[in-house]
A and B are shown apart, each in its own frame.
Chain A
Amino acid sequence: MRGLLYRDMKCVVYRTFWMFLYFIIMDLIVTLLFKLANTDEAFKIYPVLMTGMGALFFIMIQMIPGEIMKSEEKKEWKYYLISTGLGVEKIVAERYLMTFLINFATYVFAYLLMIIFFQLADSSTTALIFSLANGLYLCLLSLSLFIQAFEMPLGYRFGGAQSDKMRVAILLLFLLPFAVYFLFGDIEWLAGENGFYYRYREYMENPELLTSAALSYMENISRIAVFIFTLIPHLLVLCYYLSYKISCKVYMKGVKDNGFREAA
């Protein structure tokens, strides 16, 4: 299993390294620019901008697990893996472990970058804004793990290309109700006079408003909503486990079918 992990790391090490380096440089440039500007107004926007950049990094790193999946698309590699005697469960478990490690490393990296650059900029970031940014990263981590849990069984069963198509179809189905709502529903809360779109600019200019808004939202949130929120991490773990079990079941079928498809 350690060997498989090593192989997967070797496959993506350069791409991941350059991606990490790119974000360090980008963060450094932004921080330097803000340092040069050195105005209070600029530093008020700084934490929001840096958090946004971290979120972007999170989104970009999502392509890495897919890259690994596609790198072993060749049927010979899959047959070889089975012949090693590791067993389907271990082969699949390694991929799930690797996916988790990539996502978790991204979270830790984004978190560390946030701490380092906030300190470098010496911005007066409050603990609450820092916690909100950390919360956003945790949400992104959960979401990306959920998407991966959904995608991996499809990838094992139908191959990388087929699973891409299915993923897009499912994503469209998932987004359709939202699209209908935003086109025809009441979106006063978003684009109205006191809607989020206009308040957002205020938040950017004055982060303390964001702090107070977040606090009032937390106070008014219902207990049932908190209960549902606390269920999410447990459900995510359950989802990940179920996804692993499904992947184990469909692995061999996927190898055979995709092998024939490639041969044809």
Chain B
Amino acid sequence: MDSVKQHKLMSAKGNAVGKYRDLIQIALFVAIAYTLILVFGPQAYSLESEANMKMQVFYHMAAFSPAIACVIVRYSFKEGFKDDILFPKFIGHGKAYLFSIALPLIFGLIACVLVTIVLGAGFTFKSEGGAFDAVLNNMLMSVRFYYAAFILLGEELGWRAFLYDKLEKHCGLHGAVIIGGIIWGVWHLPPLVCIGLNFGMDAPGFPVTNVVLMCVFCIPAGAMMQLLRKMSDSVIAPLIAHAVIDTVCNALISMFLNEELVAGKQFAIGCCLVAASLLTGIPCWIAMVRMNKKSLPLEGRMASGGRQLCADRSGDRCQPKADG
């Protein structure tokens, strides 16, 4: 009996140490990511300074701040990149990659419809040079997709490949989505304040309203990305989704919405984007909860042979327990 008690005590101690270790990791990660974005962000997004190379460096440093934080924390805690989530696992995850394009497109279409309803902005196909010009503009935007994917790798490596997984271990799925969304939203502070990202600089209660709305936007959007990350067991699917939102959805909005009616109403459009994010993200959140329920608990998996695939591989990595 003593040995059993001792074993339990040891494992409890181990869990407590592991928990504190993860919490320190999260805190360090957030501190590094925020420091970098607050140092480089204001200069990268400054409207006053003209575009030059220094600004490009600052912009890249700001955009890659979550990835830099992730690498520093993983290496300083000797964690390494054991999770394999950097590989695009196309084989057997076709559905996830299909969703990574379909879900952002649904988000973009809902945003267009909402803007039309709220502003009466005219959901019509517009292009001065005809259909060819419209196609050309979209093709140019689609080329930007590759660059956006490269830049957003900096974000996805930090948020989806590190923060959300760590948070889910301690706060559960709902906690991870909410806290992760808030951290992700507040991280956008420099572009929100400097260039009025998404909501404009003439929003009522600027900049507090912008930050709050950005957090509300990021919570369901984070759920969408995290669902894709779990479905594909890789960060490449959320990366594609994020890049589609930033490029193709913008092209959709600029192609279909009447510019004259939309001009100067950035705050209203931003609110429509938040609503579209809620409408797309909440079903994803629910789907994630159902996915988690379907997957057996760790003990169950071990009891049934230990070789079943984990639907949720974000937390424990199905490590077999030592006998006895």
Contacts and interface: CB of A to CB of B under 8 A. Distances in A.
Interface of A: 1-2, 89, 97, 115, 118-119, 125, 127, 130, 223, 226-227, 230-231, 233-234
The 3 closest A-B pairs by CB, nearest first: A230-B139, A127-B51, A230-B143
Given A115-B53, A119-B54, A2 B84 contact: yes
Interface of B: 50-54, 56-57, 84, 87, 91, 129, 132-133, 135-136, 139-140, 142-143, 146
Contacts of B54: 119
27 contacts: A1-B84, A2-B84, A2-B87, A97-B87, A115-B53, A115-B56, A115-B57, A118-B53, A119-B53, A125-B53, A127-B50, A127-B51, A127-B52, A130-B52, A130-B56, A223-B129, A223-B133, A223-B136, A226-B140, A227-B135, A227-B136, A230-B140, A230-B142, A231-B139, A233-B143, A233-B146, A234-B142
A223 B54 CA distance: 33
A66 B31 CA distance: 43
A130 B50 CA distance: 14
Contacts of A231: 139
Contact of B53 (A1, A130, A234): A130
Given A119-B54, A127-B53, A223 B139 contact: no
Given A127-B53, A230-B142, A1 B136 contact: no
Contacts of A127: 50-53
Q: Interface residues of B: mostly helix, strand, loop or mixed?
A: helix
Q: Interface residues of A: mostly helix, strand, loop or mixed?
A: helix
A150 to B, nearest CB: 20
A4 B109 CA distance: 42
Contacts of B57: 115
Given A230-B142, A233-B143, 19 more contacts: A2-B87, A115-B57, A119-B54, A125-B53, A127-B50, A127-B53, A130-B52, A130-B56, A223-B129, A223-B132, A223-B133, A226-B136, A226-B140, A227-B132, A227-B135, A230-B136, A230-B139, A231-B139, A233-B146
Contacts of B53: 115, 118-119, 125, 127, 130
B294 to A, nearest CB: 27
Nearest to A232: B143
Contacts of B139: 227, 230-231
A1 B52 contact: no
Contacts of B135: 227
